[in-house]
């Protein structure tokens, strides 16, 4: 005797549980990758450097294509193409000299975090009468401390700094995916077994 066809709700439940299972699996893989990045900082930092180099090359190619297909004046096209060439040249330089790229990335990361800390502090003081503004300020202080730590230890610890940043980020992302996927699987019931 053939099984009764599944209802739409049962199909959706099965699909949600299946995707939540993949979310849990990706969370576990991210945690493992984060631990590997922390345990092999030189390899992790070089990998990030090479990845950024390739992203800059592809971004430069996309910028050049956009520059030549834009319906703007010759001045705009020239600037877009020059920007594209700068992206490509920087990407190629990072690929040819990965250690120098890692050092530069650590320096940029330090300054980006410093600017982010200042902006978070301004935001915290702008929302100060409201509840929760202290969390924004705490985030600004921690980000500022991290930025200062990176810039003070630059360039000597660039590989460790970049690998730690990437590794910790991957671990936190993995934990959040793991928790989210497990929660979804717990909340969404299994489809009832057919008799």
- Over residues 83-135, the pLDDT tens digits come to 889 999 989 998 999 888 888 888 888 898 889 889 888 888 887 777 777 77
Of residues 14 and 48, which shows the higher confidence score?
48
**1: confidence class by pLDDT, cuts 50, 70, 90:** very low
pLDDT band at residue 192 using 50, 70 and 90 as cut-offs: low
pLDDT value of residue 9: 61
If you average pLDDT over residues 163-185, what whole number do you get? 82
What percent of the chain has a predicted confidence (pLDDT) above 70? Answer: 88
Residue of 40, 19, 25, 51 lying closest to 174 (CA atoms): 25
Query: Residue 48: what pLDDT?
Result: 85
- The whole-number average pLDDT for the span 35-62 is 89
- Which residues, at least 6 apart from 193, have a Cβ–Cβ distance to it below 8 Å? none
pLDDT of res. 190: 67
pLDDT attached to residue 8: 62
Q: Is the pLDDT of residue 35 over 70?
A: yes
pLDDT at 5: 58
pLDDT value at residue 165: 81
- Residue 195's pLDDT is 47
How many C-beta neighbours within 10 Å does residue 84 have? 20
52-76: pLDDT as tens digits: 899 999 999 998 888 878 777 777 7
The per-residue pLDDT for 61 is 92
Q: Is the pTM above the cut of 0.75?
A: no
């Amino acid at each position: 005797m053939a099984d009764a066809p599944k209802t739409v709700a049962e199909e959706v439940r099965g699909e949600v549980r299946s995707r939540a299972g993949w979310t849990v699996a990706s969370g576990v893989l991210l945690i493992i990758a984060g631990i590997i990045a922390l345990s092999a900082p030189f390899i992790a930092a070089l990998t990030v450097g090479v990845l950024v180099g390739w992203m800059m090359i592809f971004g430069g190619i996309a910028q050049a294509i956009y520059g030549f297909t834009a319906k703007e004046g010759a001045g705009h096209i020239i600037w877009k193409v020059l920007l594209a060439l700068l992206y490509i040249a920087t990407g190629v330089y990072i690929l040819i000299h990965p250690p120098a790229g890692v050092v530069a990335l650590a320096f940029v990361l330090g300054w980006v975090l410093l600017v982010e800390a200042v902006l978070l502090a301004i935001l915290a003081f702008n929302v100060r009468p409201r509840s929760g503004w202290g969390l924004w300020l705490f985030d600004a202080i921690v980000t500022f401390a991290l930025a200062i730590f990176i810039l003070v230890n630059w360039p000597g610890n660039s590989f460790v700094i970049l690998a730690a940043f990437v590794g910790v980020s991957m671990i936190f992302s993995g934990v959040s995916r793991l928790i989210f996927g497990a929660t979804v699987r717990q909340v969404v019931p299994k489809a009832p077994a057919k008799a």
